[in-house]
């Protein structure tokens, strides 16, 4: 009896079996797991960097122990302070002392700008330190600087300001605020850092002197220093 052979159909495939295609949901889950793995690695690296930076800053702080410089108004001489035709005429000389309390950091005072205010109004400014007289302050040392405020300033007067001025004039002591703006650099060993900005605020009671005589002595005043 002859063996029966099934005829081949046109376009039919009789080769090895082809595995079924991966469902779309499984491919999506695989990609999601890959993204989560990369995100986890990134987070671990980021945390490690943050911890390293934190440890470096802590060690640096413990070794160097950086501290703010101390700043005082040591002397103040006010020989003129009066209004004439809505114009304030003034002559004020301020002497400052700056102390570096650090044991390992030197300070370069590259620039210091001073501004004086009365009753909230700035009426004069001057350069206390410029590139011509900039200096290096060594550790545990104190240096002096001074500012001269001389001239006149037109200011709109009002009743409240006039009242404060009359009270201060009667007492012979004027409440003058001083603002100083520093451009400094720190030196550790042979390394010198970049420009650092700092500011100081000083609230003064300055006696008015007449013919070089003052009824009240000026009290040296410490300023608030901030970066």
Inform me whether the pLDDT recorded for 31 exceeds 80.
no
Q: 57-68 burial string, b = 16+ CB within 10 Å, else e? A: eeeeeeeeeeee
pLDDT band at 198 (very low <50, low <70, confident <90, very high): very high
Q: What confidence score (pLDDT) does residue 216 get?
A: 81
How many Å apart are CA 143 and CA 126, to the nearest integer? 19
Do 135 and 106 touch, CB atoms closer than 8 A? no
**If 0-12 CB within 10 Å is exposed, 13-18 middle and 19+ buried, where does residue 107 land?**
buried
Q: Which tens digits make up the pLDDT trace of 51-64?
A: 878 876 676 666 66
Q: Return the bridge partners of 118, or none.
A: 121, 176
CA angle 219, 128, 89 (to 5 degrees): 70
Question: Which residue is listed with tokens 């005429």?
Answer: 89
pLDDT band at 34 (very low <50, low <70, confident <90, very high): confident
C-alpha distances (whole Å) from 80 to each of 50, 149, 223 are: 57, 11, 24
Higher confidence at residue 127 or residue 159? 127
The answer to whether the Cα torsion of 38, 40, 46, 52 is positive or negative is negative
Q: What confidence score (pLDDT) does residue 94 get?
A: 98
Note the residue count of the chain.
227
**If 0-12 CB within 10 Å is exposed, 13-18 middle and 19+ buried, where does residue 38 land?**
exposed
C-alpha distances (whole Å) from 158 to each of 119, 171, 175, 227 are: 11, 20, 17, 35
What predicted TM-score, i.e. pTM, was given to this entire model? Answer: 0.74
Q: What confidence score (pLDDT) does residue 162 get?
A: 80
């Amino acid at each position: 009896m002859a063996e029966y052979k099934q005829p081949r159909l046109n376009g039919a495939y009789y080769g090895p079996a082809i595995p079924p295609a991966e469902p779309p949901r499984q491919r999506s889950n695989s990609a999601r797991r890959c993204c989560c793995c990369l995100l986890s690695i990134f987070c671990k690296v980021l945390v490690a960097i943050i911890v390293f930076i934190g440890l470096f800053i802590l060690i640096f702080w413990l070794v160097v122990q950086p501290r703010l410089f101390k700043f005082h108004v040591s002397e103040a001489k006010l020989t003129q302070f009066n209004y004439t035709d809505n114009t304030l005429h003034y002559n004020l000389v301020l002497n400052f002392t700056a102390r570096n309390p650090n044991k390992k950091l030197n300070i370069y005072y590259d620039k210091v700008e001073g501004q004086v205010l009365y009753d909230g109004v700035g009426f004069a400014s001057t350069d206390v330190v410029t590139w011509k007289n900039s200096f290096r302050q060594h550790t545990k040392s104190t240096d002096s600087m001074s500012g001269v405020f001389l001239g006149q300033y037109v200011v709109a007067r009002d009743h409240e300001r006039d009242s404060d001025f009359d009270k201060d004039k009667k007492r012979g002591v004027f409440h003058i605020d001083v603002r100083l703006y520093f451009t400094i650099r720190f030196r550790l060993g042979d390394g010198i850092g970049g420009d650092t900005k700092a500011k100081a605020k000083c609230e003064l009671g300055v006696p008015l002197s007449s013919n070089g005589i003052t009824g009240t002595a000026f009290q040296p005043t410490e300023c608030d220093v901030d970066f």
